[in-house]
Structure 1
Amino acid sequence: MLDILIQARQASIGNGLEVRRILPFRLRRMVGPFIFMDHAGPVNVSPAQLSALDVLPHPHIGLSTVSYLFGGQVTHRDSLGVEQIIRPGEVNWMTAGSGIAHSERFEDPSALAGGLEMIQTWVALPEKDEESNPAFTNYKPEQLPIFTETGVWMRLIAGDAFGLGNKVKTHSPLFYLHVVLKPGTHFGLPQGYSERGIYIVKGSLEMSGRFYEPGQLLVFTSGTDPVIIAREPTTLMLLGGEPLGNRYIWWNFVSSRKERIEQAKADWQAGRIKLPPNDHEQFIPLPQDNSRPAGGPAPEPLS
């Protein structure tokens, strides 16, 4: 029934901000179109330490970044000129397409009172959209439908699931949900998708007599109908969709073509990807292959 169990690994994005990295995983690179998943926090720091967490401008191609907060707030600035504060319950959906640069800064000490905690995922784009124009949209909580029943609260972040839909623009069939379960609640997964995953943010689950803990991603393929049971108050992220085919990932770049990754590396090094006009004093340089820079996973050999 369970295709693979992925245990999050500790990683640093190079500025003192430690994260739990879930995707990519060497035995399972993607779940549907989702190719990257980081869980940061909860982080409690003093106001004097706050700016040290900033992620300086860095580039992306061939993907959409999806930022979702449980606590704190982050200021997004990008090369389109967008400046947007994201707060808990909102969604920042940035489509890099042919190339964009952005920063993520932590500028309001009062927003850290409850601790910074966020999930960032990357959604790979279909080949026809990999070179689309960059775009950014912030979606407010009232634009993201909520469903409740006994023991269940859930918000649809994107896609279609459990009869819910919203106007978050996606490029391929997928679902992405924030789910909160009360102890003893039985719950299942959306139907009609080839690949589906359950990430445990906090709490714990039981399934078929086995127990699962925070930081674990349970991945299922089509043809199964798992039933999970919350053992305590439990927060989950459900995600999945239809696979897009092979993708290469190096640092912050995703593409169906190796040569496009090489072009993106050259473009960033030569300054051909614009910096955010209101955040261009510093940026993250192209890393060496053995480094672990901020803003994305460690560069890895294209294979």
Structure 2
Amino acid sequence: MLEGEILHEDCEGHKGAIKEGGLQWMTAGKGIVHSEMPSSNASSITHCKGLQLWINLSSKHKLVEPSYQEIESKDIAEAEKDGVRVRVIAGEWNGVKSKICTRTPTMYLDFILSPGSRISQPIPIHWNAFVYVLQGQGHFGDARSHHSTAAAHHFLILGLGGDRLEAWNSSDSGLPLRFILVGGEPINEPMVQFGPFVMNTQEEIDQTIDDFENFTNGFEKARHWRSQAVSALGLF
């Protein structure tokens, strides 16, 4: 959560307020119904900014029990070295590991580089990865000196076959460069998506929709569940 505050509720009984700088990690597994609404605080409603990432699960994990992890900003793993500060959302950096448990091997790092500082971040050679710039301007490239300049709100897909990301703060304004680096191990399986449902075959999608509509095979707890935050707004 970059700014503001949202309230999470789900049919499994998890409930929490994700405040500025905090994070949540939900694994839907075999089925969960949830809501994420701005806090009733008026300033949070008008100034809610955050990042949301959807990660696929392999077929062996698609029907696991749902789970929910929430970490306040002060408890997120952090490290700092040579003008580089890193918040470790998932994975690890320089020996500092995230508290978040992911079923799909994932790297999610929030970098802040002071003016003139740089990083050389290893990435497993067979992983997919991307960069999203939140603030400032920087150069991004690889060990072969291929690089691009990117500023806030630019999205960079990293090429396959590289083993690291080179990045440095090239801003003349003295502003820090902030970006996220996200990478993950590819799941080389068929994928079929319908709305929020992601499975491996159309038959599995059809079965999942049927389960959702009839509150079966993982959706039993959703039958009588209602989000208190949504109800307060009179939406149902």
Band of TM-score, shorter chain: 0.7 to 0.9
Q: Which residue of 2 aligns with 1:245?
A: 188
Q: Which residue of 2 aligns with 1:211?
A: 149
**Residue pairs, 1:168-179, within 5 angstroms:** 168-179=100-111
**What do residues 243-292 of structure 1 show as CA deviations (whole Å, max 9, x unaligned)?**
11232222111122222222222333345531673417979xxxxxxxxx
Structure 1 residues 111 and 276 mapped into 2: Cα distance closer, same or farther (>3 Å)?
farther
Contact 1:201 1:214 in 2 (8 A): yes
Q: Which residue of 2 aligns with 1:266?
A: 210
**What do residues 202-236 of structure 1 show as CA deviations (whole Å, max 9, x unaligned)?**
22222446321333322223334342222332221
AA in 2 matched with 1:215? H
Aligned length: 215
AA in 2 matched with 1:227? E
Relative contact order: is structure 1 or structure 2 higher (C-alpha 8 Å, sep ≥ 6)? 1
TM-score by length of 2: 0.80
Structure 2 residue runs of 5 or longer lacking an equivalent are: 141-145, 232-236
| Structure index of larger Rg | 2
Q: Which residue of 2 aligns with 1:257?
A: 201
Q: Which runs of 4+ in 1 moved over 4 A?
A: 280-283
TM-score by length of 1: 0.63
1:101 aligns with 2:33: yes
Q: Among all aligned residue pairs of Structure 1 and Structure 2, give the percentage whose two residues are the same amino acid.
A: 25
1:165 aligns with 2:97: yes
Q: Distance in 1 between matches of 2:230 and 2:87?
A: 36
Structure 1 residue runs of 5 or longer lacking an equivalent are: 1-68, 284-303
C-alpha displacement at 1:196, in angstroms?
2.3
Q: Distance in 2 between matches of 1:255 and 1:217?
A: 27
Q: Distance in 2 between matches of 1:139 and 1:90?
A: 6
Q: Distance in 2 between matches of 1:137 and 1:226?
A: 28
Please report the RMSD computed on the Cα atoms of aligned residues, expressed in angstroms: 2.6
**Residue pairs, 1:1-303, within 5 angstroms:** 69-112=1-44, 115-193=47-125, 194-207=127-140, 208=146, 210-220=148-158, 221-232=160-171, 233-246=176-189, 247-272=191-216, 273=219, 274=222, 277-279=225-227
SS in 1 for 2:60: helix
SS in 1 for 2:208: helix
AA in 2 matched with 1:244? I
Q: Distance in 2 between matches of 1:275 and 1:218?
A: 42
